[in-house]
Structure 1
Amino acid sequence: MIRVMYAVLLLLAVLVLNFSLMHLAPGDVADTISQSMGGADQEVLDQIRADYGLDQPFIVQLGRYIGGVLQADLGFSFFYNQPVTKLILERLPATLLLVITSQVLALFVGVLLGVISARKPNGISSHLVTFLALFGYSAPVFWTGILLLIGFSLQFQWFPVAGMRDVTISGGFWVHFWDVTRHLVLPTITLSSIFLALYSRLSRATMMEVLGSDYVRTAKAKGLTERQVVYKHALKNSLSPVITLAGLQLSAVVSGAVLVETVFSWPGLGTLAFQSIIARDTPTILGILFFSALVVIVGNLLTDLALRLVDPRMRERA
C-alpha cells in the first residue's frame, strides 16, 4: 500500500514537471496554429490563447490540467483534431505489444545465454555470448533496425518493411494473428537486442556466483545431476538481480520504442510522439509523457511483485 502511495505521488510530480517544462519552452499552441495558417495577427493569436486557456495564470492552467487528468481528460490535439486520450488509447496496444514482447524475449534469451556461458565460463560458448553481448550493447538501436530492414525485408523479403498490419489481407483470426506476428518480428528483435546483452551478462555473473556457493556444492555431493543443480536450485536464486535490472530498464525500453517505431513505422506511441514533436502538438506530447511515466511506474510495481514471487526472502522482509 505504501508503494502504491509513493507511485501516485511520483506520477503527480512527473505530471507537474512535464507541464512546467512545456510551459517554459518558447512558443505555444497559438504560434504553431498561426504558422500552419500561414500567419495571423495579434487579435487572432489572443483569441486562440483564450480558447485554449493560455491567457490564464500558470497555476490556473496547471490546476485545470491536473483536474482534467484526474477525469481521464488529457486535452485536445489541435494537430490530429481529436481528444488526446482517444489518440493514446488507440496507439497504446501497439506499443505495449512491442515493449512486452521485447522484454520477454530479452529476459528469456538473455537468462538462457547467461546460464549456458556460466556452466563453462572458459568455453567457446562463454566467449561467444560475451562477444554478442558487447556487440548488442554497443550497436545503436536504430542502426540495428535499419540493418535488419535492409537484410530481411528488402534483400530476402522474409518480413514486411513497415507497419503493423497488411490492409490487403482478409481472413479469420489466425490469418491476422500471423500477419501481425510477421510485422512484429524485426521490431522486437531490434528493441530487445541491447537489453538481451545486459541480461545475459548479468545472468552469467550471478549464476557463476551462485554455482560457487555452499548449498550448490552440497546438492552436487548428494548426487544430483548438473541440470538439476543449475535449473532447479541455482537459477531461481540468480534471477533476482536480473528481474531488478529489468524493472529499472523499463524506462529505457519505452524510450527505445520511440526510435524503433519510427524506423519500422510501427503505429504506437513512439510514432505518435515523433509526429507530435514535429508538429509541436503540446497536449499530445504531455499526454504521451504522462502515459510513459504511468507504464514505467506500474512496471516497477510489477517488478517488486515478481521479486517477491521468485525470492522468498523478499516476502519475509516486507
Structure 2
Amino acid sequence: MWKTILRRVLLMIPQIIILSLFVFLMASAMPGDPFTGLITPDMDPATIERLREAAGLNNPWYIRYWDWIVNAIQGDFGKSFTYKIPVSEVIGQRVGNTIWLSIVSLVFTYLLAIPLGMFAGRYNGSWGDKAISFYNYFSFAIPTFVFALLLIWIFGFNLGWFPTRGTVQTGVAPGTFAYVWSRIYHLILPALSYALLATTSTIQYLRTGVIDAKQEDYVKTARSKGVPENKVYNKHIFRNSILPIASFIGYDITGLIGGSIFIERIFSFPGMGRLFIDSLLARDYSVITALILLFGLTALFGTLLSDIIMSIVDPRIRIE
C-alpha cells in the first residue's frame, strides 16, 4: 500500500507541472495587468512602463513562467501587487480562516446528512422520506449566494441570532475565552449555509445504499437470528452503506477549501475564497496563480486521500 501511495505521489509530479503551466498561461491571458488601474490622464505612460519592466511583465511568457516556477518550488510566489507583501504571507493570513470554516462546514454536513440519509433509506416511501427528498431537490436547485443571503436576512438581520460578517467581534482581546467563542460564533452561520446545501449527494448516496442493503442476504440472516432492528441498521446496514460516502470524503475535504468562494464573499469572511475574488478584480497575478495552484494541488491530494480512506474503511478494498 505504501509503495502504491509513493507511486501515486510521483505520478502527480507531471500533473502538477501541467497544472502550473495552465494556471500561469490562463492568468497571463487575462486582460490588463496590476498596473492598468494606475493609468490616469495625468499619469506619465513611461512611469507605468518602467513599473512593468521592473516587475518582469514585458519578458516572454516562458521566461516569466520559468522564473515563477523556480521560485514557487522554494516557497516564494512573488510579491502581491495589491498588498505589497509576499504572496505566501498574504495567503498565510487567510488560510487558517478557510481551514476552520471548511472543518466546521464538514462537521455540520455529516451531522445533518447521515441521520437524514439513514432515515430516508429506512423508511423509504414514507412522508418523512418525501420531505427529505423535497429538501434535497430544493438544496440542489437553489444557488449558493441566494441561499446564503436568505439565511443572513432571516438569522442575521431579522432574528439577530448570528453575526453577518467578519471572523471575530471588534475589540475582543486575542487569547481570551471571549475571543475563542467569538471566532466560533462567527463561523456558525457561514458554515451552516454551506453545509445545508452540501448534504444533497451524501443523503442521496446513503439513502440508496440503505435501500439496497435492506435486500441483502446478510441482513435477512441477521433478522432471522433475532437481531434487534436498530442493531441491524446501525451495525450491518450502515457499515456497508457508508462506503460510497467514504470514497468522497477526501474530495469533500479538499473541495471545501476551494469551494467556499461565494460563502466567504457574501459573509465578508477573510479567507482564501474572498482573497481569490479580490485578487481577480485587482488583476493581482501573483496571488491568483498561487491560489489556483494551491486549489489544484488540494484536488490532486484529495483523490489520493479518498483512496486511502476507502482502504481503511473497507479492508476488502486495497490500493494495488
TM-score range, shorter chain: over 0.9
Aligned 1:116-265 pairs, distance under 5 A:
116-170=119-173, 173-249=176-252, 253-265=256-268
CA distance in 1, matches of 2:10, 2:213: 35
Q: Secondary structure at the match of 1:150?
A: helix
CA distance in 1, matches of 2:51, 2:174: 47
Whether the 8 Å CA contact 2:34–2:283 is kept in 1: the answer is yes
Tell me whether 1:87 sits opposite 2:86 in the alignment. Answer: no
CA distance in 2, matches of 1:125, 1:72: 52
Whether the 8 Å CA contact 1:250–1:296 is kept in 2: the answer is no
User: Corresponding residue for 1:19?
Assistant: 24
- The one-letter code of the counterpart of 1:18 is V
Tell me whether 1:4 sits opposite 2:9 in the alignment. Answer: yes
Unaligned runs of 5+ in 2: 1-5
Tell me whether 1:29 sits opposite 2:30 in the alignment. Answer: no
Deviations 1:104-126 (A, max 9, x none): 32133212211111111122221
CA distance in 2, matches of 1:154, 1:300: 40
**Structure 1 length as normaliser, TM-score?**
0.92
- The one-letter code of the counterpart of 2:206 is S
**Structure 2 length as normaliser, TM-score?**
0.92
- The one-letter code of the counterpart of 2:28 is H
Offset, 1:146: 0.8
Whether the 8 Å CA contact 2:166–2:267 is kept in 1: the answer is yes
CA distance in 2, matches of 1:39, 1:211: 76
Offset, 1:173: 4.0
The partner residue of 2:52 within 49, 54, 59 is: 49
User: Corresponding residue for 1:113?
Assistant: 116
- The one-letter code of the counterpart of 2:148 is G
CA distance in 2, matches of 1:44, 1:124: 70
Tell me whether 1:67 sits opposite 2:105 in the alignment. Answer: no
CA distance in 1, matches of 2:14, 2:240: 33
Deviations 1:116-153 (A, max 9, x none): 11111122221121111111111111111111111111
- Aligned residue pairs, count: 315
User: Corresponding residue for 2:3?
Assistant: none
RMSD of the alignment, in Å? 1.9
- The one-letter code of the counterpart of 1:28 is D
Whether the 8 Å CA contact 2:247–2:309 is kept in 1: the answer is no
Q: Secondary structure at the match of 1:314?
A: coil
Offset, 1:40: 4.1
Quick check: which one's helix share is greater? 1
CA distance in 2, matches of 1:235, 1:39: 70
- The one-letter code of the counterpart of 2:142 is A
Stretch of structure 1 that moved more, 295-304 or 130-139: 295-304
> For the structure 1 residues 30 and 179, does the alpha-carbon distance in structure 2 shift closer, same or farther, using more than 3 Å as the test?
closer
Unaligned runs of 5+ in 1: none
Instruction: State the 4+ residue runs in structure 1 displaced beyond 6 angstroms.
Output: none
CA distance in 2, matches of 1:281, 1:10: 25
Q: Secondary structure at the match of 2:242?
A: helix
